[in-house]
Structure 1
Amino acid sequence: MRHLSISKAWDETRAILGRDGQLMMVVAAALIALPAALQVTLNPDQAAGTPAENSGLVVLLSFVAAIITFIGTLAITHLALSSGSTVAEAIRVGARRFFPVFVAALLWVIPMMLLFMLVLGAMVGPEALESGDPQQIGQALDGTELLVLLFLMLAFFYVGVRMFLITPVAVAEKKGPVAILKKSWQLTSGHFWRLFALLLMFAVAAMIVLITVGVMIGLLTTLAFGEVTPWSLPAALLGLFTGFVQAALTVILMTMSARIYAHLAAEPTVPHASAD
């Protein structure tokens, strides 16, 4: 098991962002900020962290935006691993590696979700599950069943942390979906708690920033341009602000994951093995 220093990885992340951050933000603006802005323009409520009503068009556009964003994260990871790459090259790598890493993600997410839903359905019954009412579902569960569901959720989080490196693995090693999962699991062995603490802190900070920006910009755009409604100018402005915040956060996280991967892989074939 190789030693992992989160502080060293963070120092290298800052160095890379200082050198290549503008290039990364060009990619993030086009492939992350703009799709996110479109989603907020369609559903302004999601920028404030409230549930949005989804029509068929919104679901379709959200799916397309998610694919573009996924490609963007891969492109940013390539830039973090390969100093001197161009934007066009990074986007090509992201597009080529999208399918393997997407399938790899589905291979672990879907079984975990199905298991959770099957267990929940067996506990509360099909009627309560189909209703989707949290209160009705909660009333159908006793203490032991809640503990079982909590255990399944913890198992989901555990596997999620172990899969943290699938993006840099997919970009750097050109493996297939199953091999990507195996390599991420291998690299993160013995480092769960460090990675869990990192992801937890980042998730909390990102949530606070996104909700705060969404609420504040929403208030400002409402005062300046009127009510924020779907397909309105205020909604578009709100989407742009929140989209660029989301893009910046993604650049930071993907660069950090690339540096952690470079430390743990520590192979001569790993590109950008040094942040110097």
Structure 2
Amino acid sequence: MSAATQAFLDMLAAERGAAANTLAAYRRDLAGAEELVGDLAKAPRARIAKLAGEWSALAPSTVARKASALRQFFGFAVDEGWRSDDPSGALPNPRTRRPLPKVLSHGEVEALLERAELEAGSGKPARVRQLALIEMLYGSGLRATELVSLPLSSVPRDAPLITVMGKGGQARMVPLSDRAREALQAWLKVRPREPASRFLFPSRNGKHLSRVRLYQLLKELAVRAGLDPDGISPHVLRHAFATHLLEGGADLRVLQTLLGHADIATTQIYTHVDEARLVSLVNTRHPLAQRRASD
């Protein structure tokens, strides 16, 4: 990786507070582009234009992501005086349609919670922790990284809200349901004290539970609950939190705050989920739809 792209990544971390996962994604995209065209701060526009052909076999969403990373870099390079031109216009600009998020039904969430509650009744620390994790994923709409990295000090004693550090180092307050509070209190009673860790959900090495392990725990629980594990993930539970709140009449701006979205356009995807559900309901339940099926 060239010094210019490394400087760009340093800027994202220092000035924009980009998260580690975001930085890793930018690094992959920029490094991959430099393997094809060389130093991005010096590559001529004609060479940049050839990236469209190199990326032709990729999905439109992937091309759009890579092009976005390069556009931001080129803007930075011009500001720094490393380039006299901005070759962003030579990059492909595929039209992408954002896919609707996977959402669990109320019944599927209930089945998952019932199984987690049943297993937590054994008193085993791993099962008690499992219930606390799920209650907070579905009850507060946390991202996987936000949840596993919660410090022990974040657990409120009396306040109904919990402080979460979101993307870009932005803190926000999210509600903690009575169910989640009870599950957390049960977890704190059996939470291991050794090795010492400042995290609410520590790992054996004293750090915090990994995102990968959280994914594994959820999928294993889904199998035991009789659900398709391919349709279960921390982010799917976050989507369920948002969609079910919206179905219940939640305001879109409130939902934006709860989810920690910087742009309300990101939150609006859930209105499309609800619209899709209503259309499906009409097409499958309306008397005319049933009559056409019988014909």
Q: TM-score, normalised by structure 2?
A: 0.22
User: Looking at CA atoms only, which structure, 1 or 2, has the larger radius of gyration?
Assistant: 2
Q: TM-score, normalised by structure 1?
A: 0.23
